[in-house]
Amino acid sequence: MPAAPPAAADSTTDVVLVVDFGAQYAQLIARRVREARVYSEIVPSTMPVAEMLAKNPRAIILSGGPSSVYAEGAPSLDRALFEAGVPVFGMCYGFQLMATTLGGTVDDNGAREYGRTPLTVSKAGSTLFEGTPAEQSVWMSHGDACSAAPEGFTVTASTDVVPVAAFENDEKKLYGVQYHPEVLHSTHGQQVLEHFLYRGAGIEPNWTTGNVIEEQVEAIRAQVGDKRAICGLSGGVDSAVAAALVQKAIGSQLTCVYVDHGLMRKGETEQVEKDFVAATGANLKVVDASERFLKALAGVSDPEAKRKIIGREFIRVFEQAQLEILQEDGPEVAFLVQGTLYPDIVESGGGTGTANIKSHHNVGGLPDDIEFQLVEPLRQLFKDEVRMVGQELGLPDEIVQRQPFPGPGLGIRIVGEVTEERLDLLREADAIAREELTAAGLDRDIWQCPVVLLADVRSVGVQGDGRTYGHPIVLRPVSSEDAMTADWSRLPYETLARISTRITNEVADVNRVVLDVTSKPPGTIEWE
């Protein structure tokens, strides 16, 4: 299977630029291109066309966006992009921008379409639609509509209310669709995208997991040189793969530091020490900082404040570890390795036109006076791509297939102040949920199942023939491909019943278990 590229490619790599017009799906477009085994990079729509072309792209994709092409201050694009001879594919807003820039007509004629929409292909043998059915379902999200294609373009698809839902110009290698082919709801969207890449742009699908590793190993060696690095190992797949990748590059120059912040789940500290060292042979330093983190979090209930505190304390512990490592013989420890992923960057406000949904401890939560240079070999990857890199590196399934767990740990799964008593309570409830999901064979069917303690909420219950006033526990099982979007998992009622019965029977001070059935959006996967 294909994997995503590193942060930069060498001069021989075929590069597809995804121009981000503030779309919620810009990162997903890049991911779909990578799934087609083609390297992609996201660039802002504000980047001058000359700079885009200086990257020597084999193709350019224009993303969707929330604006109307006619609105004041709406993102625009220099016509020179369409005259440079580079194949271009416009989606939604990008499609409309291509149409208006080249002389077509886009107007607000009341032809609004949102969600699943039937599409009729009028030219079955076209570059984009070859081999796809004449009638197919696509995902629309637009108010304005294209009523006339630019001169030289052939209209190749329409809907009941939009006469121009797709157009193509093979001579100039310019293509566009009104819908979102990148989302799974567009039933033949990936095929249409690949037709643009392979047929329209003539790109060979040759970007592989091996390319990712080779490129990153070279980049890490160039960045670190003869100095040393430490890696914040959390026990999760992200930091484990990042550490394995960096160790492949610099070997004994890397020391992994596992910080036991007291916010891990039951038995995980022991698992990290055993499984990771056995799989990689890496140098591992374990630091027990649980008392320090609990003290720093005392009295704090605000989720953003908790994330920032945890991020700050991580760095301080690493700095202390650095001092201890410096007492050993060897070069300077100048680098910190992190398992930062693409969704972390996007949700922390790092994407073009994106809002700060939450500060990830390894992005927005880092202190300004950090003394390390960061090494982030997974920064451009999505979770499933990271797993593929981990498999290629030879990490065991126990690590590679581990369900995502946030760096701040249970600290952000307690809604309210974090205390030792509340952590112990949540650990037991979480352990029960994980045991039952594993027993039911559901570990691979769900993305993850956060177990949340509503610490500042009490509910009335009846236990042992008496009235109780205990805490509710929330189960949040979700299904996802890359954590950018998610839906709640429809678990068997029998499994849910066993989890609820065991938690209320075995965990003191809990008298109610509830199920979170919210998708993302509007909710995030984690509660805090």
Active site amino acids = 92, 180, 182
Q: What Å distances lie between residue 219 and 208, 215, 225, 318, CA to CA?
A: 17, 6, 10, 23
Which residues in 153-169 are b (16+ Cβ under 10 Å) and which e?
bebbbbbeebbbbbbbb
DSSP 8-state class, residue 151? T
Give the helix ranges, DSSP H, for 36-148: 49-54, 93-101
Closest by Cα among 226, 295, 292, 220 to 261:
292
The total number of residues shown for the chain amounts to: 528
Q: What is the DSSP string of 278-335?
A: HHH--EEEEEE-HHHHHHHHTT---HHHHHHHHHHHHHHHHHHHHHHHHTSSSS-EEE
What are residue 459's DSSP bridge partners?
470
Which residues in 267-277 are b (16+ Cβ under 10 Å) and which e?
ebbebbbebbe
> H/E element holding 239?
helix 237-250
Residue with tokens 């512990």: 317
User: How many Å apart are CA 453 and CA 248, to the nearest integer?
Assistant: 39
Half-sphere exposure of residue 171: CA atoms within 13 angstroms, side-chain side: 4
